Structures are given as C-alpha cells and as structure tokens.
Chain A
Amino acid sequence: MTSETLARVEAPAWLPGTLKIFKNIIRYASWGVLILAAAATVLPFVWMIGVSLRTPADLYADPARLWPGEWSVAGFHAVLTQLPFARLAFNTFVFAGGTTILLVFLDSLAGYALARLKFRGRQAIFIVILATLMVPFQVTIIPVFLTLFDLGWLNTFQGLIIPRATSALGIFMLRQFFRTLPAELDDAAHIDGANSFQIYWRIVLPLAKPALASLFVIQFMALWNDFLWPLVVSSTLDMRTLPSALTLFSSQSGVDHAALMAGAAISLAPLAVAFLVAQRFFVQGIATTGLK
C-alpha cells in the first residue's frame, strides 16, 4: 500500500500533470500528519527526560516547558546512589530475559499443538487457556503469593520467572499465526518421514519468525516494566527490578520527580534501542525467508 505503487498504478500517463502534483501534495501532507502524530505520541517521554534533568524549582516555575531552564543531574545521582543500581539492572535483565525466552518457547509449543495437531480435547484446552486471559491479576494475587510461599519461592528468581513463563496471550497469538501457514507444508513433511516435533522445529518455527519476534518484543518489554509482580514476589530491595524499585521515589506525600523520571528514562532507554534494532526481525517477510 505504499505510495510508490499507488503512483505507478493509479496515475496513468494520460492524467494531467497537475493531478500528479496534487497527489504528491496529499502524499507529503499525509506523511506530515503521521510524523506529527508520532511526535505527539512521544511528547510525554520528551517531557519526562526534561524533568529528569531539572531542579524542582525549575520544574515548578514552568511545568509546561519541555526543556530544562536550569540543568541538574540530581535525579540521576539519586537513582545511582540511593538504589543498588547494578544489582537492579541485572535482576531486570534476568527476569525479563529469562522469562521471555522460556515463555516464547513454551507458548510456541502449545500454540503449535493447538493450531496444527489433532488431539482429543483440543478445543476445550484452547478455551481453558483462553479463559485464563480473562482473570484480572488482582484476583489471583493472594493465592499465588501463598503458593509461592509453600514452594519456598518467595524472594527468588524462580519465583519471579516460572509463574510468568507461559502466557495465554502468547499461546493464543502464536496459534493464530500458525494457523495461517498452509496445511500442505505438514503433509509434505509427513510424507518425507518427519515427526511432529521436526515439523515444528524445522518448518513452522522458521516461518513464524515475525510472529515469534513480535511476541518476544511485546513480552520482554511488558515484563521489563512490570513493577507490581516483582513487588509481590520479592521482599528485599536486592531482588527487585528497576521499575519496581523506582516506586521508592513517589508517594502520596511527595514525589521526587527528577529521580523518578531519571530512573524511568534509564529503564526505558535500552528498550528504545532494542526495539529499533529488533524491528527487522518481526517485519522480515516470508518473501525473504525463501518460501513462496
């Protein structure tokens, strides 16, 4: 649906040149609108970075200004000195990374079976899994806490990671993607003597790279920023993640805005870079993977 194809197809040679110019104006204008919309979308983050570098007096003198009038690194200093920063960064990485790797693997297995294998109760299992999506976290929090205690997993990495290592969302998403792959692929592989796991590993997974990558990105980032779960599981600061530790800077009776925003900026920066880089994986088309 790009503009090049449009121009080629819908503006045949007999059209007057003025119409072409008109179309170009619309084209550039609509891109302009899109760029403006994107700018509006990130505006809160620009403001956030601004606040992280301002003194309170400067912030309150004109909170509507995007950029500091008086610069200060006190916020960053607070995050780096008041929190065990290296430990928190490590925890965040282990929690988000470890959980996501496990999650994508387990979800792809389940999604594959639900989409492409035939077994008794398949539909029922799918609906049960789907149903667990419908449960608000607030409902399960007390029982899960008690279960983690019984397992001795409170304040441990396995307690942080394992309960989150599968997700109904991921299973559902991958099932939907796996279903769009042609059934003939399986049939052909079966004839070649491949078993279901080989089909999964060698045919389905490579074809689902864009879906796997986008699931990875979605989950990694969601887990990276999840602050309530680590607060529930951990009971010491050195088992927290960065976003959950940042809650220390705000309360009803006052917020250290510079520190909170500095912490948020530090925590979001790697994600921004990672997303920019990761894009080529999830928008890498089937066309380039050699099929079709």
Chain B
Amino acid sequence: MTTATIPPATTRRRQRFNSAYLYVAPSLLLIGVFIAEPILRSGWMSLHDWTVGEDTHAWVGLGNYTELFGDERFRNALGVTGLYTVVVTAGQVLGGLALALWLRRTTWLTALLRSAFFFPTVASFAVVGVVWKFLLDPQVGLINGWLGEVGVTGPSWLADTGLALPTVMAVGIWKGVGFSMIVLLAALQGVPVPLMEAATLDGANRWQRLRAVTLPEIRPALLFTTVISTVTSLQLFDLVYVMTGGGPLFHTESIVTYLYQRGFVEFRLGYASAIAWVLFLLILAVSLIQLRIARSDDDQ
C-alpha cells in the first residue's frame, strides 16, 4: 500500500499524468473504504425504516427526516450540542492560545507545565469519567469536600438540571485545551524571529506585536484548531455518555448521544442514520463557513 505512493517516474511522465494524485491516493482509498462508503450507506439507510439484519427494509423516503424535525428531543439535543460547541470551542482555542503564548519558550518549568496541560487530552474517557464522577460526587467528592472546608455547601454538579451542562463543558475544556495548545505551540515556532525583533524595535508593545505579527502568522493553525474543536464538540458523545448519560432530564443530551440511543439501544438504524446525516450536513456547513471566513487572506 505504501509503495504505491512513491512516484519514482514523475519527472519522466510529468506531462501525461499529474503525479499529485499519487500523493493523495492512499489516503483517499482508506477514507473511501472506511469512512465515505459507510456514510453513503447510512444515507441510503436513512431513507428506510431500517433494522440491522432484516431482509427487507421499508422505503420511507424522507419520512425519517420529517419525523426528526417534529422531534422535540432532537431539538433539545441540537440546542445542547450548539451551546456546548460555542462555549467549549471558545474555551479550548482561547485557552490553548493563552497557554501556548505563555509557555512558548522552553525551560524545565514550561516543559513540565505543558505536559500538565496536555495530559488530560490523552487519558481515555472510560477512566476520566470514573475519576470525575468521584471528584464531583456531591456527598463524598473531593471538590465538595474542599468547598465544605471553606464553609460552602457544594451543589450536586451532575444531577442539578442547571449545573450539569456547565460542568460537562468545564470538563470538556479541561480535556481538550492541551490539544489546541500543542498545535499552536508548534505553529508559534514558525513565527520568524527577525519579524518579532523588527516589530519590537519599532516600539510595538505586547498587544500590538500579538495582533500585528503573531496572530497573522499562526492564522492557519488557529483556523485548524477552531475547526477541529468545533467538529469534535458537535460530535460530543463520550464525555456525556460516561458522566451523565444525557441526564438529568435530557439537559446534557447531545445529538450523538441521542443517535446512539435510537440506533443502538432501540436498533432504529434508519432513524439514527437520518440524525447522522443532519449532523453531518450541519457540521459541514459550519466548518465551510469557518473556512470561508478565514479564506480571504488565507488562500495563496
């Protein structure tokens, strides 16, 4: 598979065949087989009343979609997911940027701090869920225990209908801020030092340098982290699944949690696929808008 990607004869055959396709071919092949084909298949399923393994599936046309738009629980999930996405994306990108700027130079201390902030990114949700549930436990948890010592009665973080979503958001930011940080750190290494020095000599202060030199230079990476944060937040599942299961009273139920419920608990795969397609188109639209906004000065 990998050997096919090396174009030894490109120079000789340059005019007949554009070798650029060979660079994208292996990735396209894998993506096609393992992602694109399944999503197309699910698009087909979404037009049926589909249960896995049944021999025949009743064609319902857009029936699943019309049902979906009247589905209150789906609308609730849209709202929850939207709010989560806005808050968590902002938190992850701005937090990541602040950390990256602050920890830009390498000393033993910044190296250690970077590791600390990155660490939650790599812990698996199965473990993180168990840990946070214990820490946030209203009666015996560490957080309310410490609050109690300063005389504050801590709330039921995950069982309170008003607090559950903000709590999940906070954990979401905790989990993802390290990712933005290291992407932006890597990008900051590309900001030419002479440019910074020139700006400094011109008398630019900290904010001016940030706005005039640093941010434009790392714009592609900022765009990348924003899009990725948005996309992953819109697909929110694991965190909710392990921390609240979508509760209390659906206050943290995300689109994918709802999809999971319909598809894998009730086995209504046609309906679940319709949810998936609405989500898919939604994410695509949001990220194309983000890319378009950035494009005016991003494109070469």
Residue of B10, B111, B192, B272 touching A195 (CB-CB under 8 A): B10
Residue of B2, B20, B137, B231 touching A117 (CB-CB under 8 A): B20
Majority SS of interface residues in chain B? helix
Residue pair A134, B223 in contact (C-beta under 8 Å):
no
Within 8 A of A (CB), among B203-258: 205-206, 209-210, 214, 217, 220-221, 223-224, 227-228, 231, 234-235, 237, 256
Chain B residues near A10: list those with CB within 8 A.
205-206
Report if B162 contacts A (CB, 8 A).
no
Residue pair A166, B26 in contact (C-beta under 8 Å):
yes
Residue of B106, B122, B228, B237 touching A136 (CB-CB under 8 A): B237
Residue of B35, B186, B283, B291 touching A213 (CB-CB under 8 A): B186
Chain B residues near A226: list those with CB within 8 A.
124
Chain A residues near B194: list those with CB within 8 A.
292
Report if A152 contacts B (CB, 8 A).
no
Contact of A221 with B19 at beta-carbon distance under 8 Å, contacts A143-B38, A180-B217, A197-B10 already known: no
Residue of A6, A41, A211 touching B116 (CB-CB under 8 A): A41
Contact of A261 with B127 at beta-carbon distance under 8 Å, contacts A63-B141, A140-B34 already known: yes
Contact of A271 with B122 at beta-carbon distance under 8 Å, contacts A63-B140, A138-B264, A139-B39 already known: yes
Residue pair B200, A38 in contact (C-beta under 8 Å):
no
Residue of B10, B112, B128, B200 touching A196 (CB-CB under 8 A): B10
Residues of chain A at the chain B interface (Cβ within 8 Å): 1-2, 5-6, 9-10, 34-35, 37-39, 41-45, 47-48, 51, 60, 62-64, 66, 102, 105-107, 109-110, 112-114, 117-120, 122, 125, 127-136, 138-140, 142-144, 147, 162-163, 165-166, 168-169, 171-173, 176-177, 179-180, 183, 195-197, 200, 210-211, 213-214, 217-218, 221-222, 224-227, 243, 246-247, 250, 255, 257, 260-261, 264, 267-268, 271-272, 275-276, 279-280, 282-287, 292
Bin the interface of chain B by size. Answer: 35 or more
Within 8 A of A (CB), among B127-149: 127-128, 130-132, 134-135, 137, 140-142, 144-146
| Docked pose: A284 CA to B104 CA in angstroms | 11
Q: Which 3 A-B pairs have the closest CB atoms?
A: A64-B145, A113-B23, A143-B38
Residue pair A218, B21 in contact (C-beta under 8 Å):
no
Residue pair B113, A282 in contact (C-beta under 8 Å):
no
Most chain A CB within a 10 A radius of its CB, from B122, B137, B260: B122
| Docked pose: A139 CA to B101 CA in angstroms | 38
Residue of B126, B134, B260 touching A250 (CB-CB under 8 A): B126
Residue pair A44, B135 in contact (C-beta under 8 Å):
yes
Residue pair A109, B24 in contact (C-beta under 8 Å):
yes
Residues of chain B at the chain A interface (Cβ within 8 Å): 1-2, 5-7, 10-11, 14, 18-21, 23-24, 26-28, 30-31, 33-39, 41-42, 52, 101-102, 104-106, 111-124, 126-128, 130-132, 134-135, 137, 140-142, 144-146, 174, 179, 182-183, 185-187, 189-190, 192-194, 200, 205-206, 209-210, 214, 217, 220-221, 223-224, 227-228, 231, 234-235, 237, 256, 259-260, 263-264, 269, 272-273, 276, 279-280, 283-284, 287-288, 291, 298, 300
